[in-house]
Amino acid sequence: MPGQSDKKNKGILTTCIAAGISTVLVVSFLLFVFLSGGEQEEYKKRTEDDGAVTGDARGMISFTADTYEVETNQEMDMGKYLQCEGITADDITWSSDSESLVVGSKGHVVAKDYGMSGILRASSMADESIHAECVIQSRSEAEDFVYQVEALNGGHVEDETTDEGIVKLASSGKEEQSIDIKAANKEPGKRDKDNIWDKRIFYKLEEINPDSDEDGLINSCRIEKKIFTNNETGNEVEYEIYHNPDTDSIHKIVSIEYADKHLEITEYYYTDDGTVNFIYAYNDVNYTPSYATPDRDGERYFFCNDTLTAWRIVEDGKEVNYCYGRAEKERLTKEGRSNIKLYKDCSEERRSSYDSKEAEMLNAALNTLDKVKNGEGSGTISGYLELASGEGVKGASVNLESADYDVPLCSVSTDEKGYYEILVPIREADYNLEFEKDGYLDEKLYGIEANESEISLSQEVVYLSGEDENEYDCVLNFYDALHKSADGMGMAELYDLYVTVRRGVNNRAGDALFEGYVSGGMQRIRLKPGMYTVQMSGDGYMDAYSSLFVSGETGNQLAIYATPELDEDEYRIVLTWNSEPADLDSHLFAPPDGTSADDCHICYYHMKDSIGNVSLDVDDVDGYGPETITISPVKQGQYKFYVCDYTNCSQNKENSRQMSESSATVRVYGRQGLIRTFYVPVNREGVIWEVFEIRGGTIIPTQRYYDAIGNKTWWQMGK
């Protein structure tokens, strides 16, 4: 039997073994906790590192900030704000958690809605655990509008960081105002000798036959206007964009580039899916909307499946046709075309020119379409600020405010001639202007209405008066804009009127400083210095509005012309101006409606068309106006209204500034009263003012100004 000492030894051994096992377990547990804690700390470090992944040898990516504020509907390159280590930009995929944040493959993002917020995520293609995130947010509609106007006028050219660390990205507005027309972004399609041009787009869109209901779709199109700068030439390019009334697809774009002494005009036609169908390119000194009739000089490009099927050149009435395949040659032959040359039969030099034109014109058409669809473009609000003497007010503050949001937008200063110009986005918006200059009374101009079809918002001259508390006698004279006086000397006076006078320019709804009935054709009132709006109302007449400047240095007289009420589908156009130039002429081009082109041109030497639809009721030759044209009724088709400075045009003084400085004003009235008012573009040389057009009963501003008349003799035919 074992002894007591053996039992004791065994107990000691058992205790030691148990202690050893416990020690191992404790050490293992502590090691586990340590390692686990380290992993948790690493995980915590990664998740708290603002979305940036601090990886190992695999690489790392991170954004430069947590939150970025961007413009709505403007493309922003977020790749510039991503930091990469051990990973190339091509190895990054981009995504977002919001449908309002559109993300491209290269990190270009577009915030589609105002006031949105979304997460932008950049990940490694090889290992998605390596990623970075940031917040992209856009401003409210009002805040975004203010930001865009400020950017267009020189602000926000660099990123700005708020006290909260939010990075406000610099505006891309200025970059968006240019276009690379000839950028080689598209390869022409594969040529096929059986390709022929599909003429249906062109012949349905244009009004080829005025008596047919199968064409003339262009007259019911929605029209946008935009203006961009040609990257290559630096010239301004104006675009007229015609949308299908049913699908809103763009079917035609007219590009008008303002070269030195002429216009370079290109008319692009597209199918519903945006492929190029036809292009007509030509030069002119004035733009008169028409289409590529067979007799007009210029070059025509016929496309099918992104290939040039035919190229026609017309010069001085002579034409030559180059075509690729026999199918297209047969089409041209059936149309009665002459001088047709097949591509394969042409010289190597001519084939090379054909190839170059195919690529150049295809890309020009597609680049133009892409730009007008995705770029908003900008328009201008411009005018003069003057003293009673006619001297320009230099260094005055011109403050633009949004009438829609009731917020200030931006401020500019007048130049040495008192001229100001403010850039605004082309969209529907209402503005007011405030004018300030030390030592002078402040002035305000109300109710500037902008829309998607207007890119030049010329304003009437605003006058500043020195600080003066005196009142001055003012004489208001009221006349009929349509009927002459009984003795034929001037226009007939109007009686039994209600007259309202308000402070400010174009103030049609503010508090009245004077109001009351006027029995005679004249009213005397006393007013303090400044600008006023005078409203005249009378039975059987449309309300008329005119601006009055009161000062101790002027005669303080105003002649106001009112037009009799109109029936449904009637328009009346009234032109007024100052004393110089003595003779401004109204010219209206009406739809042909089966009559000759000469019969559709209403002016001083052809005062009525043969069917009595349009008439020049009053022609003035000694200053002031009015000149009045009536359309009764407005027909389907296109009307174009111009003003010509006959005084200087007839003396070949095409660079005269007299009309631009004449305060010429065109008012258009309809059944409901005054529809639109147009002011002559200021600070311009020229003798032709293209004012507006009417399509489908809708008035579309044009506001172009020309300093050349070319071979268009109708502007200066003798009186």
Last residue of a domain, one of 463, 487, 506: 463
Establish if 24 belongs to a structural domain. no
- The total of other beta-carbon atoms located within 10 Å of residue 26's CB is 10
Q: 4 vs 636, which has greater pLDDT?
A: 636
What distance in Å separates the CA atoms of residue 200 and residue 271, rounded to the nearest whole number?
Answer: 10
Q: What pLDDT was estimated at residue 13?
A: 37
Give pLDDT tens digits for 491-511.
Answer: 999 999 999 999 999 999 989
580 residue type, one letter = E
What distance in Å separates the CA atoms of residue 78 and residue 122, rounded to the nearest whole number?
Answer: 10
Verify that 363 and 332 share a domain, yes or no: yes
- The total of other beta-carbon atoms located within 10 Å of residue 419's CB is 18
Tokens of 358: 């195919």
Has residue 593 got a pLDDT over 70? Answer: no
Task: Work out the mean pLDDT of the chain and round it to a whole number.
Answer: 89
- The total of other beta-carbon atoms located within 10 Å of residue 206's CB is 20
Last residue of a domain, one of 374, 392, 425: 374
Verify that 257 and 142 share a domain, yes or no: no
Q: What pLDDT was estimated at residue 321?
A: 98
Verify that 619 and 693 share a domain, yes or no: yes
CA distances from 327 to 194, 306, 321, 342 (A): 5, 16, 14, 11
Verify that 75 and 128 share a domain, yes or no: yes
Q: What pLDDT was estimated at residue 53?
A: 45
Establish if 10 belongs to a structural domain. no
DSSP letter string over 229-293?
A: EETTT--EEEEEEEE-TTT--EEEEEEEEE-SSSEEEEEEEE-TTS-EEEEEEEEESS-------
Verify that 225 and 302 share a domain, yes or no: yes
Mean pLDDT of 541-566: 95
Give pLDDT tens digits for 462-477.
Answer: 999 999 999 999 999 9
For residue 436, the domain's CATH number is 2.60.40.10
Full residue range of the structural domain in which residue 332 is found: 200-374
- The total of other beta-carbon atoms located within 10 Å of residue 663's CB is 16
Domain total of the chain: 4
Last residue of a domain, one of 174, 192, 215: 174
Give pLDDT tens digits for 378-418.
Answer: 899 999 999 999 999 999 999 999 999 999 999 999 999 99
Q: What pLDDT was estimated at residue 288?
A: 78
Q: What pLDDT was estimated at residue 37?
A: 46
Q: What pLDDT was estimated at residue 4?
A: 45
Give pLDDT tens digits for 658-687.
Answer: 999 999 999 999 999 999 999 999 888 999
Mean pLDDT of 164-184: 88
Q: What is the pTM of this model?
A: 0.82
What distance in Å separates the CA atoms of residue 71 and residue 599, rounded to the nearest whole number?
Answer: 52
Establish if 195 belongs to a structural domain. no
Mean pLDDT of 96-117: 94
Verify that 383 and 369 share a domain, yes or no: no
Verify that 440 and 358 share a domain, yes or no: no
Mean pLDDT of 21-43: 42
What distance in Å separates the CA atoms of residue 420 and residue 381, rounded to the nearest whole number?
Answer: 8
Verify that 382 and 370 share a domain, yes or no: no
Angle at 644 between CA 237 and CA 714, to 5 degrees: 100
For 574, counting Cβ atoms within 10 Å of its Cβ (0-12 exposed, 13-18 middle, 19+ buried), the class is: buried
Has residue 613 got a pLDDT over 70? Answer: yes
Q: What pLDDT was estimated at residue 709?
A: 83
Q: What pLDDT was estimated at residue 57?
A: 56
For 379, counting Cβ atoms within 10 Å of its Cβ (0-12 exposed, 13-18 middle, 19+ buried), the class is: buried
Give pLDDT tens digits for 125-153.
Answer: 999 899 999 999 999 999 999 999 999 99
Q: What pLDDT was estimated at residue 648?
A: 95
Establish if 550 belongs to a structural domain. no
User: Which pLDDT band holds residue 453 (cuts at 50, 70, 90)?
Assistant: confident
Establish if 33 belongs to a structural domain. no
What distance in Å separates the CA atoms of residue 114 and residue 377, rounded to the nearest whole number?
Answer: 19
The SS3 call for residue 429 is strand
Q: What pLDDT was estimated at residue 36?
A: 45
Give pLDDT tens digits for 271-316.
Answer: 999 999 999 999 998 887 778 988 899 999 999 999 999 999 999 9
For residue 128, the domain's CATH number is 2.60.40.1080
Q: What pLDDT was estimated at residue 594?
A: 58
- Max Cα–Cα distance, the chain, nearest Å: 159
Establish if 526 belongs to a structural domain. no
Verify that 705 and 622 share a domain, yes or no: yes
Verify that 264 and 248 share a domain, yes or no: yes
User: Which pLDDT band holds residue 19 (cuts at 50, 70, 90)?
Assistant: very low
Establish if 191 belongs to a structural domain. no
Residue 615 · residue 660 · CB < 8 Å: no
Q: 12 vs 235, which has greater pLDDT?
A: 235
Mean pLDDT of 41-60: 48
Give pLDDT tens digits for 199-223.
Answer: 999 999 998 887 788 888 998 999 9
Verify that 149 and 209 share a domain, yes or no: no
Verify that 243 and 99 share a domain, yes or no: no
Tokens of 225: 């206007």
Using omega within 30 degrees of 0 as the cis cutoff, is the peptide bond preceding 591 cis? no
Establish if 13 belongs to a structural domain. no
Has residue 592 got a pLDDT over 80? Answer: no
Tokens of 686: 């020229």
Has residue 44 got a pLDDT over 70? Answer: no
Q: What pLDDT was estimated at residue 48?
A: 40
Q: What sign does the dihedral 588-594-598-602 (CA atoms) show?
A: negative
